[in-house]
Amino acid sequence: MKELCIDMLSRRGVELDDIAECVMFLQKKYYPDLSHEKALEAVEKVLGKREVQNAVMTAIHLDESAEKGNMDEPLKEILMKDDPLYGIDEVMAYGICNLYGSIALTNYGYIDKEKPLIIGKLNEKGPQCNTFLDDIVGAIAASAASRLAHNR
Ligand code: MG
């Protein structure tokens, strides 16, 4: 299941290395000697959780269904234009962060506001629908950062 999620993320243009870079972005102030390898390891651990895998699969399925037109209106249009008032994409991200406590939640809020690196790229307007994906990537990075903070 974890491998399937890694393949799905990759098909949507997100590699685990990209998420690890977001972890480094979140942790650079608190953990200046954090290596890319350690960040990547934390991302892999987060992706090992069944609840996270379920969120990744659901998120990508919804984005792809909207893109293929395989969804009823008005939901299809809401997802295709990434309506900022929709909010359910963020709620799914909280579902991941809740597994990792309050540090994950505050990290997610920060990364969602700053939109660094791959999260910024996912937010650029293009033919691909990333309404759920950007939040899932942010939540995985935030959770991995929380894991590192707690295990230090
Ligand atoms: Mg979103």
42 CA distance to ligand 1 middle (Å): 23
H helices of 28-49, in order, are 36-47
Give the domain range for residue 122.
Answer: 2-151
Q: Is the pLDDT of residue 47 over 90?
A: yes
Judge whether residue 57 has pLDDT over 90.
yes
152 alpha carbon to ligand 1 midpoint, in Å? Answer: 30
Alpha carbon distances (Å) from 18 to 24, 76, 86, 89, 117: 10, 28, 26, 20, 8
Q: Which two tokens stand for residue 101?
A: 């406590």
- Average pLDDT in the chain: 97
Calculate how far, in angstroms, residue 113's C-alpha sits from the geometric centre of ligand 1. 11
Which CATH number belongs to the domain containing residue 40 in this structure? 1.10.3760.10
**Inter-residue contact 141 to 19 (CB < 8 Å):** yes
Q: From ligand 1's centre to the CA of 33, what distance in Å?
A: 31
Neighbours of ion ligand 1 (CB under 5 A): 89, 131, 134-135
pLDDT at 125: 87
Neighbour tally for 11: CB within 10 Å? 10
> What's the average model confidence in pLDDT over 28-54?
97
User: How many domains does the chain divide into?
Assistant: 1
CA pair distance 51, 54, nearest whole angstrom? 5
Spacing, Cα 137 to ligand 1 middle (Å) = 10
Supply the pLDDT for residue 4. Answer: 98
Ligand 1 centre to CA of 129 (Å) is 9
CA distance 25 to 110: 11
Residue 152 has pLDDT above 90, yes or no: no
**pLDDT class for 63, splitting at 50, 70, 90?**
very high
What is the per-residue burial (b if ≥16 Cβ within 10 Å, else e) of 18-34? bbbbbbbbbbeeebeeb
pLDDT in tens, 95-146: 999 999 999 999 999 999 999 999 999 999 889 999 999 999 999 999 999 9
Residues sharing a CB contact under 8 Å with residue 71, sequence separation 6 or more, in sequence order: 62, 65, 79
Tell me the CA–centroid distance for residue 134 and ligand 1, in Å.
Answer: 5
